[in-house]
Amino acid sequence: MLISELKPQEEILGFLEGKENLFLVGCSGCAEVCETGGDAQVKWMEEELGKAGKKITGKVSVDFLCSKALAGVRLRRRIQEVDRADALLVMSCGIGVQAVAAIVDRPAYPAANTISLGGHQGVWRGEERCAQCGDCVLHLTGGICPVTFCSKGMLNGPCGGYSSSGKCEVDTQMNCGWVMIYNRLKTLGQLDRFKQIVEAKRYAKMRPPDTLRGTTFWAVEQRNDAPAKVAGALVEEDR
pLDDT in tens, 115-143: 887 655 555 667 888 989 999 999 999 99
Looking at the structure, tell me whether residues 64 and 130 fall in a common domain: yes
Query: How many other β-carbons are positioned within 10 Å of the β-carbon of residue 4?
Result: 29
Q: Structural domain of residue 228, as residue ranges?
A: 209-239
- For the chain, give the percent of residues with pLDDT over 90: 66
The pTM of this model reads 0.85
67 with 156, same domain?
A: yes
At 206, the pLDDT band (50, 70, 90 cuts) reads confident
Summarize pLDDT for 98-119 with one digit per residue, the tens.
999 999 999 999 999 998 876 5
Report the domain count for the chain. 2
Q: Are residues 136 and 217 in the same domain?
A: no
User: 81 and 179 share a domain?
Assistant: yes
Binned at pLDDT 50, 70 and 90, residue 212 comes out as low
Question: Does residue 43 sit in the same domain as residue 146?
Answer: yes
| Alpha helices, H only, the chain | 9-15, 30-33, 39-51, 68-76, 79-83, 94-103, 146-149, 177-188, 210-213, 216-222, 227-238
Assign residue 78 the CATH number of its domain.
Answer: 3.40.50.11860
